[in-house]
Amino acid sequence: MNQTLTAAQRVAIARDPQRPGITDYISALFTDFFEQKGDRLCGEDAAILGGVALFHGRPVTVIGTRKGKTLEENLKCNFGMPNPEGYRKALRLMRQAEKFRRPVLTFIDTSGAYPGLEAEARGQGEAIARNLMEMSRLTVPIIATITGEGNSGGALALGVADRVLMLENAVYAILSPEGFASILWKDASRSSEACDLMKLTAPDLKALGVIDDIIPEPEGGAHQAPAIAMRQVDLYLSRCLAELEKEKGPALAAARYQKFRKMGAAAPEKEEQ
Amino acid sequence: MNSIFAKRRARLLAMKAIRDNRTLADATIECPKCGQSSERKLVAQGLSVCPKCGYHFPIGGYYRLSTILDPGSFRELNAKYPAGDPLSFPGYRAKLEATQRKTGLAEAVVTATGTIGGRKCVVGVLDSRFFMGSMSAAVGEKITLAIEYAAKNRLPLILFAASGGARMQEGILSLMQMAKTSAALARFSEKGLLYISVFTDPTTGGVTASFASLGDIILAEPGALIGFAGPRVIQQTIGETLPEGFQRAEFQEEHGFVDAVVPRIRMRETLAQLLRLHEKGGRA
């Protein structure tokens, strides 16, 4: 564990281009992956990769944001910033997972949903909202793993899960620290100050009850020893899945509802005025 | 006896509605859209719509309720639910208190029960004067409580959105309210109950990407800005200026995200019509 890292250092590690991405996780943790493309409405979005695969011999639906490894891939994947088609494809695959009683495993690494002209015209907000609503009532196990950056509703749209896991150096926040500083202080250069206040690291989020578990990374980050990192992820996913598969579908959905229902519910301090 | 209470409630809402408008003290008011000045009295009589160009001025939550609920039917839900500071964010509590004093509001949303055209419903209104109507944990909780109240009592639900998005000072917990409210609406919907969402100017960010986009029926006030990303962010991303009317209510209607653009003056009768239409099959 790298306990001594500052929040800003973790943000840098989370964004490291060498950090394992969805394609690395798929080849390390799954066999027999079959990619499914398209939202069946109007398009295909490479910023979200999804399909069916075997996880320790068991069929699962895998969905993850994809940043790409080369510049060419980056451009094709829009640097991991999905359009509405990506979220609608993800929803299509999740509904199919429910039909075939497959658990859903999502991998999140995105700087956010794409804030573009066409994304808006095709209902970026509606696409995210729909995913939040439908994920909350899916009756198969859902495990979300935040592997790098998890920013904004664009990350949450794959994150309404029974178990939310985070790699030790991943970050999860309402938006990027730069965006946060620029909105709050009109000064994007104060991002490291923002990092400290935002409570975006895995230990902070575990304390707040937003995530369930932290997956340890090798010294210096997952990209320093990917095989070790993958083994850890495998271990945590297997353990969570074994727990969740004991539950019946409606009980899973009910527990997932309660999990999110509680967030920010209790007034932190009762003050009589 | 009943009518005395109804009268008292009517007076209470009227007073809160007047307080909503008290910051507008000048005799004339300039329209930010057409730039022309109009007599304030004239604007107020027309539900805060510019008599020259039809621009819809932003209005406060209680005032909004007074324009759509039957007189005397207003009963506030969870009026005392406290605003919080879950991340102990520096300076936030003082800013909350200052905003509370300035607006007379406890938080950015008012929720209530009341009747429209004699039909009982639950109504929530976001108020853009309070931190831009942004989604705090308290806002998410009050909306969720309103959804649950409507579900429990089998009442139709109407939510008026107006929001700059997330409450920055509450960070990730603000984000989680998107999941919470959307999940509550899933349960509400499964009971076969009606939810009408009304977009007002402006609604962006997490509110667009959660409960506001999930209505069985989605209405919008004319000219309301509706989007996930705000225009400034989009402009920075694509590096060009946005086309005229982009993300406005009429644009969203054309693109399939809004059932109808409804002028404020027609809002009450439109809502009454929709409640009437859903009375039998929709069990409203």
Which of B171, B185, B227 faces A120 most closely, judged by CB atoms?
Answer: B227
For residue B8, what are its two tokens? 């008292």
DSSP assignment of chain B:
-HHHHHHHHHHHHHHHHHHHTTT--SSEEE-TTT--EEEHHHHHHTTSB-TTT--B----HHHHHHHHSPTT--EEESTTPPP--TT--TTHHHHHHHHHHHH--SSSEEEEEEEETTEEEEEEEE-TTTGGG-B-HHHHHHHHHHHHHHHHTT--EEEEEEE-SB-GGGHHHHHHHHHHHHHHHHHHHHTT--EEEEEEEEE-GGGTTTGGG--SEEEE-TT-BB-SS-HHHHHHHHTSPPPTTTTBHHHHHHTTS-SEE--HHHHHHHHHHHHHHTSSTT--
Domain with residue B64: its CATH number is 3.90.226.10
Report yes or no on B130 lying in a domain. yes
Cis peptide before B202 (omega within 30 of 0): yes
Q: Does A79 touch chain B (CB under 8 A)?
A: no
Q: Please tell me the predicted confidence (pLDDT) of residue B284.
A: 44
Q: Please report how many Cα atoms fall inside a 13 Å half-sphere around the Cα of residue B279, on the Cβ side.
A: 11
Distance from CA of A21 to the nearest CA of B (A): 23
Q: Residue B119's domain spans which residues?
A: 59-277
Q: Does B247 touch chain A (CB under 8 A)?
A: yes
Tell me, yes or no, if the pTM score tops 0.90: yes
Number of domains in chain B: 1
Strand partners, B159: B124, B197
Report yes or no on B271 lying in a domain. yes
Q: Does B140 touch chain A (CB under 8 A)?
A: yes
Q: Does A207 touch chain B (CB under 8 A)?
A: no
Report yes or no on B40 lying in a domain. no
Helix (H, G, I), strand (E, B) or coil at A72: helix
What's the CA gap between A9 and A169, in Å, rounded? 9
ipTM > 0.90 for the complex: yes
Q: Please tell me the predicted confidence (pLDDT) of residue A271.
A: 41
Helix (H, G, I), strand (E, B) or coil at A107: strand
Test the B interface: residue of A182, A260, A270, A271 with most B CBs within 10 Å: A260
What's the CA gap between A231 and B7, in Å, rounded? 69
What's the CA gap between A146 and A15, in Å, rounded? 12
CB A47 within 8 A of CB A78: yes
Report yes or no on B138 lying in a domain. yes
Cβ neighbours of A125 in B, within 8 Å: 208-209, 212-213, 226-228
Asked whether residue B86 carries a pLDDT value surpassing 50, the answer given is yes
Q: Where are the domains of chain A?
A: 7-258
Identify the DSSP state of A201: B
**Residue contact B144–A172, C-beta within 8 A:** no
Report yes or no on B51 lying in a domain. no
Asked whether residue B225 carries a pLDDT value surpassing 90, the answer given is yes
**Residue contact A134–B186, C-beta within 8 A:** yes
Asked whether residue B16 carries a pLDDT value surpassing 90, the answer given is no
What's the CA gap between B247 and B249, in Å, rounded? 7
Q: Please tell me the predicted confidence (pLDDT) of residue B1.
A: 55
Report yes or no on B30 lying in a domain. no
What's the CA gap between B225 and B251, in Å, rounded? 9
CB B235 within 8 A of CB A135: no
Segment A156-196, tens digit of pLDDT: 999 999 999 999 999 999 999 999 999 899 998 999 999 99
Segment A200-253, tens digit of pLDDT: 999 999 999 999 999 999 999 999 999 999 999 999 999 999 999 999 999 999
Strand partners, A99: none
Which CATH superfamily does the domain covering A7-258 fall into? Answer: 2-enoyl-CoA Hydratase; Chain A, domain 1 (3.90.226.10)
